[in-house]
Amino acid sequence: MKPMDIEKQSFAIIEKELTTDIPPEYKPVVKRVIHTTADFSYETSMMFSDGVIEKALMAIREGTEIVTDTNMAKSGISHKIAEKFGCSLNCYMADEGVAKEAASRETTRAVVSVEKAAKDNPGCIMVVGNAPTALMRIRELYDEGTFAPRLVIGVPVGFVNVVEAKEEIIESGMPYIVARGRKGGSNVAAAIMNALFYMAADDDKEWRRC
């Protein structure tokens, strides 16, 4: 069986096993997350701000910069499609300057990375699969009026501050896609970004069959 056939069959199984009535525009995102995790709890935990899909597809088609909070999420996003749309993929977590500044300020590298994104790419798509502190800093800078990401993908996984940080994004007024609760991760973050890319390339097979 060829990889594309396996994916097609997998999406058919997911479609069959869904138990929630998911709006068609969100379905490709939710299904791709389930495809990545085999976890159907995302059916009910995924939250979307009004009109976020349309805004995300427009941002992609305009070649908006993408900033991730882990190199793992960056690595999981399709470089091929990102390049096709001219969307640069950036992660500042391993930058020496970021590490130094975080150490001297006794904060997380995720916080310093967000500040760097706000400065260098103020209208970027923020992809957060790991660090709740990244989400909290995004919210602060947004409230201060110094950062307005075109989309926040907020799906860190974890047990401390994660649930709360996601609610901060949901209540912020920013366009968001968030997996409520503890679950998420770099793989989920990458899956959401990839689902949006496939939707933006609407001549793409992956989107047509979702």
- Chain positions contacting a copy of itself, by CB under 8 A: 1-3, 6, 9-10, 13-14, 35-39, 71-72, 74-76, 106, 108, 157-161, 181-187, 190
* Known catalytic residue at 79: no
Of 20 and 71, the one with the shorter C-beta distance to a copy of itself is: 71
- Name the minimum Å distance from CB 145 to a copy of itself: 27
- Name the minimum Å distance from CB 184 to a copy of itself: 8
Of 182 and 209, the one with the shorter C-beta distance to a copy of itself is: 182
Looking up tokens 């989400």 gives: 135
CA dihedral 155, 157, 158, 161 (to 10 degrees): -10
Of 47 and 148, the one with the shorter C-beta distance to a copy of itself is: 47
List 35, 55, 84, 180, catalytic entry: 35
How many helices, marked H, and strands, marked E, lie in the chain? 12, 6
Q: Estimate to the nearest angstrom the gap between the alpha carbon of 57 and the chain centroid.
A: 13
Nearest to 142 by CA among 158, 161, 126, 164: 126
Give the largest Cα separation in the chain, rounded.
Answer: 53
Which sequence positions are flagged as catalytic? 35
